[in-house]
Amino acid sequence: MPGRFLPPLILLLAGSLSLACCQYLIYFYAPAEATMGLVQKIFYIHLPLAWWSLFSFFLVFLGSVAYLLKRAPGADRLCAAAAEAGVLLSGLALLTGMLWARKSWGVWWTWDPRLTATLVMWFIYAGYLLLRGLGLPPRRKRLVCAVAGVVAFLDVPLVFVSARIWRSIHPSVLGAQGGGLEPEMKVTVSACVVAFGLFWAGLVWLRKCQLDLRARMRGSVD
């Protein structure tokens, strides 16, 4: 069993090293933004956090559908690992966004729709994690969580659309015209997204292995 931990640990290490290399790109390669200065560097952390948290939630949806179709406990454990990572990353995205907002808009928090949408998603999946902590019989809990995982993800596009109708002041980063990013900035943010992706994959995989091991131990005890 410990051998199973090796691939995710390698991935996690590769992600950590890539993230360390990204610091060079962030602070020495990418130019400082004219109006925001050093604080703009938060963007290189904030964007990958937000994107990978969204991908985590998508993985919860896929795992939930897989569980409902196949009743495979492994799919449920994948959902648990992805949801934990998603809540952590979206929480950090919110925190880094608040630091950005303080410098850019002069307030820690504003009811900007995209911020609100991210916060709502955080609440939805925090509620989902709460469900996972209930003392239900294991099969019932897996079923309930799978249904909640599907319902939660179905709501995500609606949250975004409702947020867009409620006019946004959030900067459009990678729009059709590139959102005003310099080429060096684009390279840096792409590298950060890939590095965070490696780190995220290692994290989710490692947590899944832990949950597998716990399930196996409980199974042997029972």
Residue from 7, 127, 180, 183 binding another protein (CB under 8 A): 127
Q: Is residue 66 part of the contact set for another protein (CB under 8 A)? A: no
Nearest distance in Å: CB 176, another protein: 22
Residue from 95, 154, 169, 217 binding another protein (CB under 8 A): 154
Secondary structure string (H, E, C) spanning 162-211: HHHHCCCCCCCCCCCCHHHCCHHHHHHHHHHHHHHHHHHHHHHHHHHHHH
Closest CA to 150 of 164, 136, 163, 131: 131
Q: Which two tokens stand for residue 201?
A: 């994959």
Q: Is residue 134 part of the contact set for another protein (CB under 8 A)? A: yes
Rounded to whole angstroms, the Cα distance separating 100 from 106 reads 9
Footprint on residues 162-181 left by another protein (CB under 8 A): 162, 165-166
Which range, of 51-59, 78-86, 96-104, 128-136, touches another protein by CB under 8 A? 128-136
Comparison of 128 and 200: residue with beta carbon closer to another protein = 128
Residue from 68, 98, 173, 213 binding another protein (CB under 8 A): 68
Closest CA to 59 of 26, 34, 83: 83
Q: 73-104 and 43-70 are packed helices; what angle lies between their axes, rounded to 10 degrees?
A: 160
Q: Is residue 123 part of the contact set for another protein (CB under 8 A)? A: yes
Burial-class residue 221 by CB neighbours within 10 Å (0-12, 13-18, 19+): exposed
- Where along the sequence are the contacts to another protein (CB under 8 A)? 68, 120-121, 123-124, 127-128, 130-131, 134, 137, 139-140, 143-144, 146-148, 150-152, 154-155, 158-159, 161-162, 165-166
